[in-house]
Amino acid sequence: MEENVTAVAEESAAVDGSVAIAPAEEALPPVQQRRHINRAKLQDNIWGWIFCIPLIVGTVWFVYAALIMAILISFTGFSIGGMSTQTLMECLGNLGENIYKTTPIEFIDGRPVVGATYSDPFYWYKTIFTTFGTMPGAVDAAGNVYKMNAMGAHMFNTVFYMIGIPIGMVLSMFFAVCMSRDIKGGSVFRVLYYIPCVASSISIVYTFKILFNEAGVMNSLFGSEGLNWMGGELTWNSVMGTNVKNAFMDTQFWCQGLLQKCVIIIMSVWKGLGGTIILYVAGLSGVNAATKEAAQIDGASGWKIFWKVTMPDLYPVIFYNIVTSVIGGMQIYAEPVLLFGESTALDAISNTSGYVSLVWKYGIFPQGNSGKMPSAGAAYGMFLAVIIFVLTLFQFWLDSRKKD
């Protein structure tokens, strides 16, 4: 019976002129036609990659590769021009075994001393907390020079400068709101306030040196003629007429240093005001006008509209300014050095230098027989990178909680 059915099917296929399709052939996927190449689009992509290659190569080499190399060097005793004869590759080859291979060097209170052997790859990270420097000013009753942890002193200076971040944000917000109103000459004011951002840092520094001179404009405004903001030797004892012997009352770091740091804060705020104003003006232009109009119709005051309508729409701009300002503030270096100079001695605490100056001191300036110590500078730099990374993560964590 089955043979008859098969024979009938074959006869009908022959009559119709069709051929039966095998099951294996039915399972084959259809052949896709080759897509036509858009030559104009391909040419645009090629030119785009050509222009991006320098940026990609520069970022990979000068950022990521340099970061990895700095991390590795920080666990070695690599020096340049010093008594140690290790090359960079030899230091990396002995990573974790002996931080000094030929002529070991020990740092005590920032001074290099030959003759000690260390095999601890975390040596430089420990010296960050154990290196002390002399504070500018007097000595105690026993004739001992006041000392302070070098990292703590320079980190205090750095954190103190960050007081200018909220001050600058409030001022820039105020000026941005004023400039966003329909007043004549608003564009002119925007240009005037942005000029400090494009002005030369050297010219700004010399301008502030003249402003805060003993006979300068600032002393005339404050009625403090003769006060030397820039290079005095004030201590709290000299100001109050006392003779208390302790590091706070008898050193310049806590008195004259505060005056000098205030000058840097004022200059930094004034210099960065224009860029922040432009960002806030751009953010204010994107505030929902319909929501503001509805709030006005409901009888909301201008202050409530600003806090309940304008500020929420400006939050992305505010968050961006806070994150970038904190990252930049932790890396401050040029302004204190240009205004007050920089001491290259490791055992000297500066009134104004920020934390980054320690990276420069170890990595750039020779220190006696030890020469330049890029390994120590890399360790100080990695410690700062960790602090900035933690602060940035904390800010993003607060931002995520606000959104939730």
Three-state secondary-structure class, residue 166 = helix
> Residue 8: its pLDDT value, please?
47
> Residue 218: its pLDDT value, please?
87
> Residue 86: its pLDDT value, please?
67
pLDDT digits (tens, 9 = 90+) for 370-390: 678 888 889 999 999 999 999
pLDDT grade for 394, boundaries at 50, 70 and 90: very high
pLDDT grade for 36, boundaries at 50, 70 and 90: low
**CA atoms within 13 A of residue 40's CA, in its CB half-sphere:** 0
First to last CA, the chain: 75
Angle CA(138)–CA(139)–CA(144) in degrees, nearest 5?
155
Residue 258's nearest CA partner among 225, 281, 236 is 236
For residue 154, pLDDT beyond 90? yes
Question: What percent of the chain is predicted at pLDDT more than 70?
Answer: 78
Angle CA(122)–CA(394)–CA(287) in degrees, nearest 5?
145
pLDDT grade for 307, boundaries at 50, 70 and 90: confident
CA distance 346 to 162: 24
pLDDT digits (tens, 9 = 90+) for 326-375: 999 999 998 899 898 887 777 788 889 999 999 988 888 776 666 788 88
Domains of the chain, by residue range, sit at 39-133, 138-403
pLDDT digits (tens, 9 = 90+) for 111-128: 455 544 456 778 788 888
CA distance 265 to 161: 6
pLDDT grade for 162, boundaries at 50, 70 and 90: very high
How far lies 320's CA from each of 172, 273, 287, 327, 387, in Å? 14, 15, 17, 11, 18
pLDDT grade for 97, boundaries at 50, 70 and 90: low
> Residue 392: its pLDDT value, please?
93
How would you classify residue 248: left for phi > 0, otherwise alpha for psi between -120 and 50, otherwise beta?
Answer: alpha
Lowest mean pLDDT among 37-41, 152-156, 326-330: 37-41
Per-position DSSP letters for 265-299, written without gaps between them: HHHHHHHHHHHHHHHHHHHHHTS-HHHHHHHHHTT
Which of 29-43, 287-301, 331-345, 366-380 tops mean pLDDT?
331-345
Which comes out higher in pLDDT, residue 68 or 26? Answer: 68
> Residue 101: its pLDDT value, please?
43
> Residue 198: its pLDDT value, please?
85
Cβ count within 10 A of residue 344 = 12
**Class of 138-403 per CATH?**
mainly alpha
Query: Which residues share a beta bridge with 137?
Result: 251
pTM here is 0.79
Cβ atoms of residues 137 and 146 within 8 Å: yes
pLDDT digits (tens, 9 = 90+) for 178-223: 887 777 767 777 788 888 888 888 889 889 988 888 888 888 888 7
> Residue 165: its pLDDT value, please?
94
pLDDT digits (tens, 9 = 90+) for 170-182: 999 998 888 877 7
pLDDT grade for 18, boundaries at 50, 70 and 90: very low
